[in-house]
Amino acid sequence: MMTRVALWLAVSSLATGPPSAAADITFDHITQLPITYIRDYGDDHLDNPEWVARVAANAPELLVVGKDLPIHHNWGPVPGVGGENQAYGQGEHIRRISPDELEAKMAAIRRMVRAMRDCGVKLIMPYICSKTIGGDHWKRTGFWDFYDHWDEYARFGIAPRPADDPERWMRRRPDGSFFTTYPFEAPYYAPNFRYAACGNQPGWRTFLQQVVRLVAECDYDGVYMDNNGRFMCYCDRCRADFRKYLQRKYKPPELRRLFGFERPEDIRLSEEPETLLWYETRRFWAAENIEFLRSLKAYAEQTKRPFHIFANLGTWSRGWPEIQTVSQVATFIQSEENGEDYGGISGLARVDVAGVVTFKHYNYRALQYKYTQATRSGLRVTMTTRPRMSGSRRSFAWIDNSPHTVGLNLAEAAAFGGGGAYNTNIDRDTAHQVAKYRKFLAAHRDLYEGCDIYAPVGVLCFAEQRFFTDEQAGLFEIDQLTEGIFDAHVVFDLITERNFTAERLARYPVVVLPQYVRYLSDDDVALILGYIRNGGTLVLCGTDAGTFDKQCVQRERWPFEQLCSTRTRVRQFGKGRCIHYASLPPEEAWRGEISEAVSRPLSWVEGVAEPGSLKVNAYVKPDSSRVVVHLVNYEVPLGRDSTEPPTAQGQLTLRVPLPKGKRPSRAVLIDPDGEFGGELPMRVDDGVATLTVPEVYTYAVVSIQ
């Protein structure tokens, strides 16, 4: 079980510190109504009234189907539908069909899409992959069979056949060999092979543009783009484009001084982490991925606008450095959480140790939702979770969804996502939970739309530090740090690189600087020091933050040395203060020293039996007329065969610091289960609203206005 670091944060005096949590907030991108999302990769969707009826019984706002598209990304025009890369890759499914057969298939797809709209589905998208090709370039089978007959499909308006053979389109390792990323000799493709194409290669990009245009012609709203991480490619095109990229960014003297490149032809993609060249290589791959997605979106929008990109960046641990960049073009991203010992599904796992001792582990995905919302780009995250495990334990049933945990996961998306969604399955016996949350969200859309996060604590979450190194230490520290803040029932916001401004910092009485943020420019350091001088409280972890500048040069002197004292943890600096700990602050320090250093605790909830069992989040309307507090109860047992209901949290004391100058008149509790709603008695003293929440079954929302 992960060690918890309980963080008992406290807010500095409103008279001397930065503004209170919602005073003078400049709103950028505000929240959207959460949605329900169903993914169904079945192969029975075309001209099937029974499937249409199943969808109609519980139609989601967003529906993703499998390869129900005219031309497959991996095979070309084939009769098969449904599935994704590891499904329907053999036999009749991948037989190349004639142009007449393709026309008939497109007509059936259009009928299916029309039926989905009649059911009430708002957005429907098919599956494609950003890189997978199936076939055999030696025997000219699979995709190569289509390539050799490309021009026979000209009547569909597809571009002329690219001159380069698809074998030239592949991602490459530094030595020039295929970089397949998945097994080349995949049994589900036998006797063909699975290749990985590069989005920078003109032939592959031209082909996928034809794929998405035909998708748009079938009246789909966009594409779900799988395997959409950075390119990680050393092909000839990537090498050439990287030379241009680096020459645009650095002048010749800088190329010589920083990288040792005397001539343009010396410029190369890096293979060595912890160098500026490695950082620029990763940056380049991420930027090229965005240009690739943007080109597909623009091409499809010649036929249908808007056309949405739904990018799957993989797991949180793999994809978090690229979320900010992908937000420039995508409408949705997927966080594909497989979990480890306790799976990826949120809820309570009861873990037996040697058959004698049982302890509780609370799974949650609130951090992933909050990070995407923190980009303030309008990007929506969808959580796809699995009860997968590593290690010696192989049973899945005890960490799979129960009927009650589906409701918890839907609640988590609503509470923390700012417009996100949890992926459910159309055939799972929990459709009533999806229907319940659809009805609840529609009835209370004013609680979700048009808000921004309301948080007195900001945590610097610089995911792109990962571009400097391959280490996962930063993610581990953020997980540990925010787990402690969640467990202390403190509402916090995440500050990304692209939102890192003096105005943003001034919103938070307390800012936390983790030690993994090792690469900071002089301007970054100046922003942090200016925040403290103006009255903020900085919680500084370790002595690694800022040890390097953004050219990967180690500083001669630690830039935050002046904030630290050998005699005490707390040091005044200008109008503010720095509270410094060797690493993550221990629980007793947050309870004692930090509480003494600042004026009042930030913990909003009292009466919770176990810290990890309840989490809180809050939003505010732009005019500060309403504060909306979300309470999510994780005492919901996991287990495929579990019928055990949640253990309700009762008689919770809620203390909410109010926006500056506001004195609310009423507080209302709303519960999707409909059992504990109603107006709550409230006391307002010194800018804090105090009230008692009688019970939180799975999810409760308190509206203070």
pLDDT tens readout for residues 27-46: 467 899 999 999 999 999 99
Angle at 199 between CA 80 and CA 285, to 5 degrees: 135
Angle at 41 between CA 381 and CA 222, to 5 degrees: 50
- The whole-number average pLDDT for the span 275-298 is 96
Is 21 a residue whose pLDDT tops 60? no
Q: Which of 222, 204, 203 is nearest to 213 (CA)?
A: 222
The tens digit of pLDDT for each residue in 208-261 reads: 999 999 999 999 999 999 999 877 899 999 999 999 999 999 999 999 999 999
For 175, half-sphere exposure in the C-beta direction (CA atoms, 13 angstrom radius) is 2
Tokens of 72: 């497959």
Cis peptide before 306 (omega within 30 of 0): yes
- Binned at pLDDT 50, 70 and 90, residue 607 comes out as very high
- The whole-number average pLDDT for the span 265-294 is 94
Residue 230: per-residue pLDDT: 75
Residue 138: per-residue pLDDT: 97
The tens digit of pLDDT for each residue in 498-511 reads: 999 999 999 998 99
Dist CA 703 CA 46 (whole Å): 45
Residue 23: per-residue pLDDT: 36
Do the beta carbons of residue 99 and residue 214 sit within 8 Å?
no
Percent of the chain with pLDDT over 90: 75
Crossing angle of helices 236-249 and 276-300, in 10° steps, is 110
Sheet with 649-657, side-by-side order of all strands: 605-606, 649-657, 688-696, 682-685
Residue 25: per-residue pLDDT: 39
- The whole-number average pLDDT for the span 595-612 is 79
Mean pLDDT estimate for the chain: 90
The tens digit of pLDDT for each residue in 540-560 reads: 999 999 999 999 999 999 999
pTM of the predicted model, to two decimals? 0.92
Lowest-pLDDT choice from 35-39, 194-198, 499-503, 673-677: 673-677
3-state SS record for 5-50: CCCCCEECCCCCCCCCCCCCCCCCCCCCCCCCEEEECCCCCCCCHH
Residue 26: per-residue pLDDT: 44
Q: Where are the beta strands (DSSP E) in 126-284?
A: 127-129, 132-136, 141-142, 193-196, 222-226
Is 675 a residue whose pLDDT tops 90? no
User: What DSSP designation does 645 have?
Assistant: P
- The whole-number average pLDDT for the span 101-114 is 98
Within 10 angstroms of residue 70's Cβ, the number of other Cβ atoms is 24
User: What DSSP designation does 464 have?
Assistant: G
Q: Which domains does the chain have, with CATH numbers?
A: 10-30+453-601 (3.40.50.880), 37-337 (3.20.20), 604-704 (2.60.40.1180)
Residue 567: per-residue pLDDT: 80
Dist CA 168 CA 170 (whole Å): 6
Q: Where are the alpha helices (DSSP H) in 351-427?
A: 366-374, 403-416
Tell me the three state secondary structure of residue 106. Answer: helix
Dist CA 673 CA 496 (whole Å): 35
Q: Which of 1, 118, 38 is nearest to 428 (CA)?
A: 38
Give the chain's radius of gyration (CA, Å): 27
- The whole-number average pLDDT for the span 88-108 is 97
Sheet with 332-337, side-by-side order of all strands: 123-125, 62-65, 37-40, 421-424, 380-385, 332-337, 308-312, 222-226, 127-129
- The whole-number average pLDDT for the span 62-89 is 96
